[in-house]
Amino acid sequence: MFVSKSMARKVITVTPEDGILTAREKMKTHQIRHLPVVDPEDRLVGIVTDRDIRSAMPSIVLEDYDSRKEREKLAKIRVHEIMTRNPVTVLPTHTLQDVLMLIQSTRVGALPVVDEDGRIKGIIGVRDLIRAFINVLGIGEPGTLLCILVEDKIGTMKRIVDAVTEEQISIGSILVARSWEEGKRAVFPYLLTQNVSRVKQKFTDLGFTLLDPLEWYLDQLPPDGR
């Protein structure tokens, strides 16, 4: 899936010369945490986050802060003084996998989407990714997630799909993960039914090992739980 299909197209922005109180109010009004900073031609020059604004403000909640002098001082701070310059961006033609890897490596919560000329076209964040993958994986529909430990060899996936279709069960998605056992894979079919007893028995008869999905995940965690 491409970024252009999942990004938020209506982007709330600020300019470098806007005050941080203006940026803060926009975040509050639109319930967002990231504001792309653009020049008069909509070219991206930076990004400002709610954390940037909090860091620039006193520890006391602003609404309860009575010092007029402090308010006037804050009102003079401009977005360009606290924004992140040259932020990490993606193109509309990038994939959701690209976004996932960038968010994982950069530890940011959202990425501006720009065209080849650097003009802002959208923004994509963690919530957009979650929404997109819910749709891709079919887990928005009621169903059952299974975990099957199988040998890592050609033809195994076909046997799993055949076993499901023979029971006239629809498949929402299938994910495959590496296993802690050499030469094995963990296959996670999401079946669009609650009645899975017959197909689970069929998997057992085929020689597959059925595991609890949650237990499998916990077994993959390092001993110290990190």
Rounded distance, CA 33 to CA 22, Å? 13
pLDDT in tens, 170-202: 998 898 887 767 888 899 999 999 999 999 999
Q: What is the CATH number of the domain that holds 209?
A: 3.30.70.260
Kindly state whether residues 34 and 56 are assigned to the same domain: yes
Kindly state whether residues 43 and 127 are assigned to the same domain: yes
pLDDT exceeds cutoff 80 at 136: no
Kindly state whether residues 47 and 144 are assigned to the same domain: no
Kindly state whether residues 79 and 190 are assigned to the same domain: no
Kindly state whether residues 18 and 117 are assigned to the same domain: yes
Q: What is the pTM of this model?
A: 0.69
Rounded distance, CA 120 to CA 91, Å? 10
Coil, strand, or helix at residue 160?
helix
Kindly state whether residues 205 and 142 are assigned to the same domain: yes
**Mean pLDDT taken over the chain:** 87
Q: Please say whether the beta carbons of 16 and 79 come within 8 A.
A: yes
Domain count for the chain: 2
Kindly state whether residues 128 and 201 are assigned to the same domain: no
Rounded distance, CA 179 to CA 40, Å? 52
Among 101, 134, 167, residue at a domain's last position: 134
Whether 226 maps to a domain, the answer reads no
Q: Which stretches of the chain are DSSP H helices?
A: 3-6, 20-30, 50-56, 68-75, 79-82, 96-106, 126-137, 156-166, 197-205, 213-220
Whether 53 maps to a domain, the answer reads yes
Kindly state whether residues 104 and 15 are assigned to the same domain: yes
Q: What is the CATH number of the domain that holds 82?
A: 3.10.580.10
Higher pLDDT, 111 or 130: 111
pLDDT in tens, 31-51: 999 999 999 999 999 999 999
The kind and range of the H/E element at 173 are strand 171-178
pLDDT in tens, 148-171: 999 989 999 999 999 999 999 999
Residue 203: domain span: 138-220
Whether 187 maps to a domain, the answer reads yes
